[in-house]
Amino acid sequence: MEVTVTLTVNGIERTITTDSERPLIDVIREDLQLTGTKEGCGEGRCGACSVLMDGQRVLSCVTAIVQADGKSIRTIESLAQGNTLHQVQEAFLAEGAMQCGYCTTGMIMTAVGLLEANPRPTDEEIIAAMRGNICRCNGYTKILNAIRRAVGRPQEVSAI
């Protein structure tokens, strides 16, 4: 069924007419050309497609566009201000917390959502929040270190 929805994406109001069950990620990537959000599994199992919806991390591959009606969506493109990266982006760079980079957008958006809700998470809280994000390159130690750096306590850890 075709619907018309209005949502705010990275601060810009958008009105979209499309199939009500179309995945949010398709609107983000295809209609809005915001290709920083990546699709991995396409079925809610890897976290690569994570975006923030009203501040909460959602999986955009299993979020129907109709669920985003009236919501505020933020994607990875919203984070940097001009040439200034977000603190989480800076931390991922500083820790080298990416290899192929395919999971990185989802990791960063999930971490940003966590830190906005809880600016000083413990390791256990970080690990719990990131549990739904899979890195096929097995970069978990560096990813944890990056998030720890982003909250102001960089130090080496052996493993998640």
Binding site for ligand FES (CB under 6 A): 39-42, 44-49, 59, 61, 98-103, 135-137, 139
Smallest distance from the beta carbon of 104 to ligand FES, in angstroms?
A: 6
Structure tokens at 90: 């800076």
- The strand order across the sheet containing 12-19 reads 12-19, 2-9, 72-74, 50-53, 56-59
Cβ distance to ligand FES smaller for residue 136 or 153 = 136
Q: Could you tell me the sign of the dihedral formed by the alpha carbons of 11, 17, 22, 25, in that order?
A: negative
Which residue has 């949502």 as its token pair?
7
Give min distance, CB of 149 to ligand FES, in A.
17
For ligand FES, the closer of residues 70 and 101 by Cβ is 101
Least separation, in Å, of the C-beta of 56 and ligand FES? 15
Q: Which of 41, 159, 157, 151 is nearest to 102 (CA)?
A: 41
What is the spatial distance between Cα 101 and Cα 99, in angstroms, rounded to a whole number? Answer: 5
CB of 135 to ligand FES, least distance (A): 3
CA 104 to chain CA centroid, Å, is 8
Please answer whether residues 36 and 76 qualify as being in contact, where contact means their C-beta atoms are separated by less than 8 angstroms: yes
Pick between residue 115 and residue 134 the one whose CB is nearest to ligand FES.
134
Residue 16 or 137: the one with the smaller Cβ distance to ligand FES is 137
Nearest residue (CB) to ligand FES, 1 versus 59: 59
- Closest approach, Cβ 150 to ligand FES, in A, equals 17
